[in-house]
Amino acid sequence: MEKTYALITGASQGLGKAFVLELAKRKINPILVSLPGEGLAFIADEVKALGMEAHCYETDLTQKENIVALADWVNDRFPLSILINNAGCGGTQSFRNASVDYLDRIIQLNVRATSLLTHQLLPNLSRQKCAYVLNVGSVAAYSPIGYKTVYPASKAFVHSFTRGLYQEFADSNVFFSVVNPGPMMTNSDSCSRLQQQGRFATMGLLSPEQVAAISIRQLFKRDTLIMLNWVNRLTWMVMKFLPIYIRLPLLTNAIKKEISRA
């Protein structure tokens, strides 16, 4: 049987790691990508224990030349059937106090790396009988939010970029999908934020493993805008129908309170 390969960015922890293990359980060989020195080899061992191949590539995706080098490395070695653009970063700060590097990193990773990696791997994906691209956005894609600086805008980009490609490639063998998760207990930042926000914030909370499992299941069902559960769907509907003059100050004030509590 022909081997199937999937590339996952941000594979060292959180949702990316969950995607890696979910794909391995489905007999798909993952190619793990993250920053250097973050223990990809340990996750690769978990994949091998499931009887699958695991290939690791450590690089900083905020650098354009690294994205091109990664794509060349993959294109020379593997027939790629799945790309998951998961690596992403964000945070909460006032725009005035945010450093240039902080802003630049969010834009380069969330926007540029997602676009360029997809572009560079598309010829490879197009050669496969059937290929999938899953981009990880966020519920922050559905509304601007003050004090989140460029994060919601970058995720709105991911959402819009994916929807456009879905339509552009509708008659092709490459299928595009986007998932916009709500908060998850992944890194220490998101864990402490969720704990501070109390019971309301944890309603319908999904683990990274649940998000990965639902996303992959829906991706293979060719669901182009993946809704993870009823809370995720409700958030989408509320953001769609609540007028901007209500939701923008509401969300911004909630985040502002979070900053002043910290």
Ligand X SMILES: NC(=O)c1ccc[n+]([C@@H]2O[C@H](COP(=O)([O-])OP(=O)(O)OC[C@H]3O[C@@H](n4cnc5c(N)ncnc54)[C@H](OP(=O)(O)O)[C@@H]3O)[C@@H](O)[C@H]2O)c1
- The contact set with ligand X (CB under 6 A) reads 9-16, 34-35, 38, 60-62, 86-90, 109, 136, 138, 181, 183-184, 186-187, 190
Q: Yes or no: say if 83 and 134 are a contact pair by the CB < 8 Å rule.
A: yes
- CB 184 → ligand X: shortest distance, Å? 4
Smallest separation, CB 171 to ligand X (Å): 29
For the CB of residue 27, give the shortest distance to ligand X in the complex, in Å. Answer: 23
- The nearer residue to ligand X, 172 or 187, going by C-beta atoms, is 187
How many other CB atoms are there within 10 angstroms of residue 238's CB atom? 13
Q: Tell me the residue type at 42.
A: F
- CB-nearer residue toward ligand X: 63 or 253: 63
Q: What is the DSSP string of 59-122?
A: --TTSHHHHHHHHHHHHHH--EEEEEE---------TTT--HHHHHHHIIIIIIIHHHHHHHHH
Residue closer to ligand X, measured from CB, 52 or 184: 184
**Do 208 and 17 touch, CB atoms closer than 8 A?**
yes
Q: How far is the CB of 251 from ligand X (least distance, A)?
A: 14
The residue (of 109 and 145) whose beta carbon lies closer to ligand X is 109
**Half-sphere exposure of 77 toward its Cβ, with a 13 Å CA cutoff?**
14
